[in-house]
Amino acid sequence: MEEEAMLKVEEENDDEEDEEEEEKLKQNHTINSIIMEELVGRLGNGDLKEKIEAAMAVRKLVRKSNSKSSKSVVRSRLASAGVIDPLVSMLQPSFPLSAREPALLALLNLAVRNQRNKIRIVTSGAIPPLLELLKFQHGNLKELAAAAILTLSSAAPNKPTIAASGVAPLLVRVLCSGSVQGRVDAVTALYNLSTCEEDPKLVLAPEAVPPLIDLLKECKKYSKFAEKTTALLEILSNSDEGRIAITNVDGGILTLVETVEDGSLVSTAHAVGALLSLCQSSRDKYRELILREGAIPGLLRLTAEGTPEAQDRARILLDLLRESPPQNRLTSSVLERIVYNFVTRHGSKKYGA
């Protein structure tokens, strides 16, 4: 999984290819076109051994480039030469695992930091065979497939196709039983799909809750990863099954309360959203559970320091947590006075007051 980790680092801050890319392609002569043509020929028409060797050569050509700009040129030229279609064909179940793994590694190397290649890979039909690999018991291949879904789903045009493929339950399986890296990849892939603006909207099974809570416990609450994890937990809090799972898992509500206290602006908004969803679904059932975990200080602070959406959610939740009936709302002036007194007394944990 070392190569997968290296690809993750390279994938960070992935944006659309620079418009200067075409000019770079014209000026760059480090890769002989004849070599590329030979690779395409071997991938398309060679025997099994030749196909495997060619897939490994594609991966090697990208990896041996000694700078990000040269890697980008290599990726684009290889794709333009026509290597993607035959590599995707090698992912099919009709090929042995000894061929599918090098093909998948080659495609991963082609996709990183290259939006155009990500889209080409999906339009070439890579998602169905990747789903088959996610069903497989072979741990390494399954987690490589999860890494591929993560990478491909970071391109917005790919999200509807991937979301509609039925991949979410398979990613939840990886989330529940994979290695730490596999679980992290599954979370990020699911988060990418949750941001798809088109239907179908992401639906998560309640089995995702325990590993998500465990990962949230272990990570820094203000990290980007915590933001993705809490976003998924907020989605889960919108169903009865998800709310029950959050309540039943050890430290579920407490972990959300801690995120309200220590999270970033984004993760606190998602965490308070999940807590609010619980309390709004059944005040009698969840009010005491949330109060028991000491939610009030973090919520009071959030009404002063959170995003506008988080502030509104915190105010509504504070109202629901009061002993008096929820229809007797706190007025804005009363709440502002409570918050002012609280912050004056305890200081601002996030901003160092």
Residue pLDDT, tens place only, 49-64: 999 999 999 999 999 8
What's the CATH number for 217-353?
1.25.10.10
The 10 Å Cβ neighbour count of residue 53 is 15
Residues sharing a CB contact under 8 Å with residue 208, sequence separation 6 or more, in sequence order: 172, 175, 176, 190, 232, 236
Q: Which amino acid is residue 52, in one-letter code? A: I
- Express as a percent the part of the chain with pLDDT over 70: 82
pLDDT of the residue at 102: 98
Q: Are 195 and 232 in contact (CB under 8 A)?
A: no
Please give the pLDDT value at position 324. 63
Q: Name the band, by pLDDT with cuts 50, 70 and 90, for residue 85.
A: very high
* Residue 207 CB burial class (10 angstroms; 0-12, 13-18, ≥19): middle
Percent of the chain as helix, strand, coil, to the nearest 5: 75, 0, 25
Residue 193 in this model has a pLDDT that exceeds 70: yes
Burial class (CB in 10 A: 0-12, 13-18, 19+), 46: middle
Its sign, for the CA torsion 336, 337, 341, 344, is positive
Residues whose CB is less than 8 angstroms from the CB of residue 209 and which lie 6 or more positions away in sequence, other chains included: 233, 236, 242, 245, 246, 249, 252
Q: Cβ(1)–Cβ(143) under 8 Å? A: yes
Domain boundaries, the chain: 217-353
Distances (CA, A) of 242 to 70, 216, 236, 238: 46, 16, 5, 7
- What is the value of pTM for the model shown? 0.85
* Structure confidence at residue 29 (pLDDT): 53
Whether residue 53 contacts residue 42, with contact meaning beta carbons closer than 8 Å, is answered with yes
Chain Cα centroid distance, residue 168: 12
In this prediction, residues 273-280 reach a mean pLDDT of 98
R_g of the chain computed on alpha carbons: 24
Q: Look up tokens 């169905």; give the residue.
A: 128
CB atoms within 10 A of CB 329: 14
Lowest mean pLDDT across 27-36, 201-210, 241-250:
27-36
Q: Which pLDDT belongs to residue 16?
A: 46
